[in-house]
Structure 1
């Protein structure tokens, strides 16, 4: 049985580019618990808070109950089981029923057996879930929040089975288009003739149909790339920087590096090269950015 393929086939509502990583986040949490505790069941009362935090931090910018994936993952074949004291199976996704004593979830016995037999499988499944659902800049943060330890695991990207290979020219094309300067803050830096601290960021994530094309990319410094992927920063159709009102920072450095970006024009690429596509901007605004945006600082 190919568990990577099975995990990647879990049913998610992803029509029209909608992000729905609720089941993957539950599975990442369950894999972390398996690493630590083995095949012990996870009471919903113990999973609710950490799963809710993962959904808030890394899920789409809309409210989602942790009861939704805890229950609905049981509909995927031999992945997840919910147990109750009376043996009737999952009571549904309602929090009041899931919070009753004795309601607990666990990885399906077949999957747990496979994980026990092959310790590297935890890393394979975790990498598959991360690659298929999240931008690379978020992987370490998600693992840390879930409690997953993937140190020392170096595996080929399993989602090449589902996604086209990354275009190795994408980064260079985007950095050249923006002349090796962050489109948000203007940072540029070089070490021995090599640009450092600059990334080619996707507006619409590859895992949700975003192409490796200049009109879906921005040259950003590593800080602003990560904040873009976390939904702290966004881009308006007027080509200005949006800063989430939900992001809080009080130091002078935070005000300068983040808050003061609000309303600042995003740098244009070189003449003759495509500007960010409106559809990709809309996708990021709807699926990643943590609205509402702050009002630009008074001049």
Structure 2
């Protein structure tokens, strides 16, 4: 039985690139608990709050319930549910799972396979992370779930993985003149840029192309906040800041809240800015909550040169 293939092909509701990481998050959580107790059961009433938190932090902006994956993951052959009345889930309603004392765990076949081949767990985790989340969140998500993996455990082949363009990072950083499109940070050690990353707008895991019009040059901080849905890109290529973000320190106000409403620092003339279809996907599937009003702060970046060039509207490429 190919457990990696099963992890890669979980049955999910998908339409128009919508994110549905409910089953992957539950399976990652179950793999973590397997590390603690290989035969332990997860009672829905005991893990409901953990799963709610994971869905709120790493799921799409729309409200959802952990009862859905707890019930439906059974159909993928990696998860089983039982109640005091015997095997089988009582349904996908929260009240039914609670009232029946429903408990779930990985199937006996999968547990046996991971005992025979300990590295299987790490390889399944890698497949789930690659399929459903951007690389900037992988380490944090493992920590949040409690997964402890050795580097060798995550090596191995993931089914049908797309290959990224090796030169794309350099092309993106060059297009944005080696500065963060949100804050203008442009640090280097000698001639080598540090803390700058080529971020996908529409995630690679959800069909986002490896093209400049789906990429941004971002500093490490703003890349993480962009992938967590704290930051986004609105109409007119202005920066969105989620009202869900709370920061009282001067640093939080300066580096995050004060960005609200500011124009994105655009790419060089002649380079495609972020395409509307990718920007809209990020707003619908990643950005969390209502947007903060534009900050009542001076918008001058006082950096001079090309670093202060805002992108007010998409440019038409000239070459």
Q: TM-score, normalised by structure 1?
A: 0.96
* Offset at residue 297 of structure 1 (A): 1.5
* Offset at residue 151 of structure 1 (A): 3.1
Contact 1:245–1:294 under 8 Å retained in 2: yes
Distance 1:167 1:92 in 2: 44
Give the aligned length: 297
Contact 2:67–2:94 under 8 Å retained in 1: yes
Residue in 2 that maps onto 1:276: 274
Residue in 2 that maps onto 1:187: 185
Q: The residue matched to 1:17 in structure 2 has which SS?
A: coil
- Structural mapping, 1:1-299, within 5 Å: 1-76=1-76, 78-87=77-86, 89-100=88-99, 102-153=101-152, 155-156=154-155, 158-159=157-158, 161-299=159-297
Distance 2:276 2:156 in 1: 30
Residues 214-258 of structure 1 deviation map (CA, whole Å, 9 limit, x = unaligned): 000000000000000000000012111100000000000000000
Residues 31-80 of structure 1 deviation map (CA, whole Å, 9 limit, x = unaligned): 0000011121111112211111110000001111000000010111x211
Q: The residue matched to 2:199 in structure 1 has which SS?
A: strand
* Offset at residue 156 of structure 1 (A): 4.0
Contact 2:199–2:215 under 8 Å retained in 1: yes
Distance 1:279 1:101 in 2: 44
User: Unaligned stretches of 5+ in structure 2?
Assistant: 298-319
Distance 1:131 1:152 in 2: 15
Q: TM-score, normalised by structure 2?
A: 0.91
Distance 1:9 1:192 in 2: 45
Distance 1:144 1:191 in 2: 30
Runs of 4+ deviating beyond 2 Å: 151-159
Q: 1:155 to 1:106 in 2, by over 3 A?
A: closer
Q: 1:101 to 1:13 in 2, by over 3 A?
A: closer
Contact 1:200–1:219 under 8 Å retained in 2: yes
